[in-house]
Amino acid sequence: MENEFFEKAPDIEDIAVLSEITDGRFLILATNLIKDYEIGDFIVRAVDDLSLKIEKTSFIIIKGPSGAGKTTLLNLIGGLDLPNMGTIYSHGVKITNLQEESLATFRLINTGFIFQNYNLISTLTAEENIMFPMKLAGMSLKEQRERALNLLNQVGLGDRREHLPFQLSAGEQQRVAIARALANDPPFIIADEPTANLDKKTSLFIRDLFSDMKQEGKTIIIATHDDYLIELANRVITFEDGKISNDQVVNSQAKN
């Protein structure tokens, strides 16, 4: 058994991050990430040698011009996509080494995603959309229903259970999507422009939902230019041409 333990020496990079992982302070440790998109002969470097550490319970905003690579970065740290180079530890797990099946299970439990275009399943009702990740996680049907209803109430849509996505307004669809992201109560929430194209009242409602998540101690990262969301942040990262051009700790006592 002893031999088995020492069979493979850890690589240098593993040793370097080991203490940071084991002290439990960081939820994400990303090192030297490169993400290229190849279209024919043309290569776009969307993320360019980027390293990033995310402390647990932080509330991070990513800003930056269109095409800067914000969505690409969120997809990488959430394990929705893999980098060409570099490593990502999430919750102490080296997700860049996981096979797709393990990665999918990892995401299901650890990370809630909220997308600009909601990404609801069009053939499922609001309630069923929220139940879906719980079903994948093996929760009983009774629990799925109870929790989905609680979440629908939490996002103010208890009376829209049976609605299909096309029967909901844009703001309502996004609130269902937020409820779905919270379905398995993940500690990490990633949101990509969650209030883009929504009116002020809905944006404020969504801001309050993120504020609640913050108070619950979730770690949150949002790509946005929405001032209402930026108010909640304790760190603002500016992203340009695949690199971090500014990384600022802001009022860490930001109001909730």
Ligand X SMILES: Nc1ncnc2c1ncn2[C@@H]1O[C@H](COP(=O)(O)OP(=O)(O)OP(=O)(O)O)[C@@H](O)[C@H]1O
User: What is the contact surface with ligand X in residues (CB under 6 A)?
Assistant: 37, 39, 44, 46, 64, 66-72
- Position closest to Mg ion via CB: 71
Q: Is 130 exposed, middle or buried (0-12, 13-18, 19+ CB in 10 A)?
A: buried
- For residues 26 and 54, the answer to whether their CB atoms sit within 8 Å is yes
Residue 70 or 175: the one with the smaller Cβ distance to Mg ion is 70
Q: How far is the CB of 26 from ligand X (least distance, A)?
A: 23
Binding at 46: pick from Mg ion, ligand X, none (beta carbon under 5-8 Å per type): ligand X
CA–CA gap between residue 35 and residue 104 (Å, rounded): 20
Q: How far is the CB of 178 from Mg ion (least distance, A)?
A: 18
Binding at 186: pick from ligand X, Mg ion, none (beta carbon under 5-8 Å per type): none
Cβ neighbours of residue 251 closer than 8 Å, sequence gap 6 or more: 234
Residue 72 or 184: the one with the smaller Cβ distance to ligand X is 72
Residue 74 or 130: the one with the smaller Cβ distance to Mg ion is 74
Q: How far is the CB of 125 from ligand X (least distance, A)?
A: 29
Q: Which two tokens stand for residue 223?
A: 């790509």
Please name the residue that has the structure tokens 């939902």.
209
Show contacts with Mg ion in window 96-155 (CB under 5 A).
none
Binding at 67: pick from ligand X, Mg ion, none (beta carbon under 5-8 Å per type): ligand X
Residue 151 or 223: the one with the smaller Cβ distance to ligand X is 223
Continuous H helices in 84-222: 100-110, 126-136, 141-154, 170-181, 200-215
**Residues paired with 39 in a beta bridge:** 42
Cβ neighbours of residue 104 closer than 8 Å, sequence gap 6 or more: none
Q: How far is the CB of 45 from ligand X (least distance, A)?
A: 8
CA–CA gap between residue 139 and residue 23 (Å, rounded): 31
Q: How far is the CB of 116 from ligand X (least distance, A)?
A: 7
Q: Is 248 exposed, middle or buried (0-12, 13-18, 19+ CB in 10 A)?
A: exposed
Residues in the chain: 256
Binding at 24: pick from Mg ion, ligand X, none (beta carbon under 5-8 Å per type): none
Q: How far is the CB of 66 from Mg ion (least distance, A)?
A: 7
Q: Which two tokens stand for residue 53?
A: 């550490």
Binding at 78: pick from ligand X, Mg ion, none (beta carbon under 5-8 Å per type): none
CA–CA gap between residue 61 and residue 235 (Å, rounded): 6
Binding at 37: pick from ligand X, Mg ion, none (beta carbon under 5-8 Å per type): ligand X
Residue 11: DSSP 8-state: P
Q: How far is the CB of 133 from Mg ion (least distance, A)?
A: 23
Determine which residue in the list 71, 110, 125, 224 makes contact with Mg ion, applying CB under 5 A: 71
Interface positions with Mg ion (CB under 5 A): 70-71
